[in-house]
Amino acid sequence: MAMDSFEAQRLDAIEETLTQGIRDFLTQNGFAQCHLGLSGGIDSALVAYLAVRAVGKENVACLLLPSRFTSQTSLDDAMELANNLGCRHETLSIEPVYAEFLATLAGVFKGRAFDTTEENLQARIRGTLLMAFSNKFHSMLLATGNKSEIAMGYCTLYGDTCGGLAPIGDLFKTEVFALFRRINEKSRLQVGTRVIPERILTKPPSAELRPNQTDQDSLPPYDVLDAVLERYLSENLSAENIAETLGLDKELTARIIRTVTAMEFKRRQIPPLLKIALPDHCADINKMVVQ
């Protein structure tokens, strides 16, 4: 389905605003280079693309950090994107470190089932390696979380929340999908190929921290989640009003809002994000700014 002109213009404005925001933030903080963990998922793919646009492919590094749960599809997609962007990329398996952590904790955890503890270990190992790269090369680590995940606390403290800047932290997941489509649409029209592998868009989002994991194991479908979050965070509507407006189950709506409230402690520990907004009393999307 073709995108209407206003929506295309809005997404182009978001892209330009985030690109300039990354560039300005790095410059203001004395960084010429940046890097990120490239997972083969849609969020890190978008951040990588924006980073290359902001500071040039020669100043961006993508680190692939696979574990025993990382699919070959994700590795292939991440490698294809890095090659398309032309930026430096390195593969650092976290498996040896992860195995050592599990072995060290085996006695303490004896008799206890695999749960989010073992999942979070993987994210924290990745965060440690990404921060080591930052220290060694004076490179700004870009976190890749989006607004939907941050609101719901679907992130690991001291893991995927590591970094100096969260460029897409003010974009709902549905907006990430929409911007992805717009970028590829422009790329196809301009050069005949899609810069971001299309499979990244079509496969179910997953943190790949356990076998066959998908985001929807823990979160409602993103179109539902984002509709609730937007009305709660932007319009300050009650759970009852939101459920009635959207025709949703009241308990589901209330559970989403309870989760947002409970995850405040996580949001206070994430990197600064590029908060995009129109100036007050302004309807011109060409004047979109980073706050």
Cα separation, 38 vs 90, in Å, equals 10
> Torsions phi, psi of 247, nearest 5?
70, 35
Encoded tokens for 276: 């995009």
Which contiguous run of DSSP H or E holds residue 33? Answer: strand 33-37
Domain assignment present for residue 287? The answer is no
Per residue of the chain (291 residues), give pLDDT as tens.
557 889 999 999 999 999 999 999 999 999 999 999 999 999 999 999 999 999 999 999 999 999 999 999 999 999 999 999 999 999 999 999 999 999 999 999 999 999 999 999 999 999 999 999 999 999 999 999 999 999 999 999 999 999 999 999 999 999 999 999 999 999 999 998 999 999 998 888 888 888 888 888 789 999 999 999 999 999 999 999 999 999 999 999 999 999 999 999 999 999 999 998 754 444 454 455 565
Domain assignment present for residue 63? The answer is yes
Domain assignment present for residue 245? The answer is yes
Domain assignment present for residue 283? The answer is no
Quick one: 79 exposed, middle or buried, by C-beta within 10 A (0-12, 13-18, 19+)?
Answer: middle
Domain assignment present for residue 132? The answer is yes
Q: What is the pLDDT of residue 206?
A: 86
Which residue bears the tokens 């932290």?
A: 169
> Torsions phi, psi of 277, nearest 5?
-160, 160
Domain interval for residue 46: 5-278
CATH number at residue 44: 3.40.50.620
Contacts of 287 (CB under 8 A, 6+ apart): 278, 279
* Domains: count for the chain: 1
Domain assignment present for residue 289? The answer is no
Q: What is the pLDDT of residue 281?
A: 41
> How far are the Cα atoms of 163, 176, 215, 223 from residue 185, in angstroms, in the given order?
30, 14, 26, 21
Mean pLDDT of the chain: 93
249-266 pLDDT, tens per residue? 999 999 999 999 999 999
Encoded tokens for 72: 């070959």
* Spatial CA neighbour of 141 closest among 226, 48, 262: 48
Q: What is the pLDDT of residue 283?
A: 45
pTM: 0.93
Cα separation, 53 vs 60, in Å, equals 10
Q: What is the pLDDT of residue 278?
A: 53
DSSP-assigned letter for residue 193: S
Domain assignment present for residue 288? The answer is no
Asked if 11 and 179 count as a contact pair (C-beta separation under 8 A), the reply is: yes
12-64 pLDDT, tens per residue? 999 999 999 999 999 999 999 999 999 999 999 999 999 999 999 999 999 99
Domain assignment present for residue 285? The answer is no
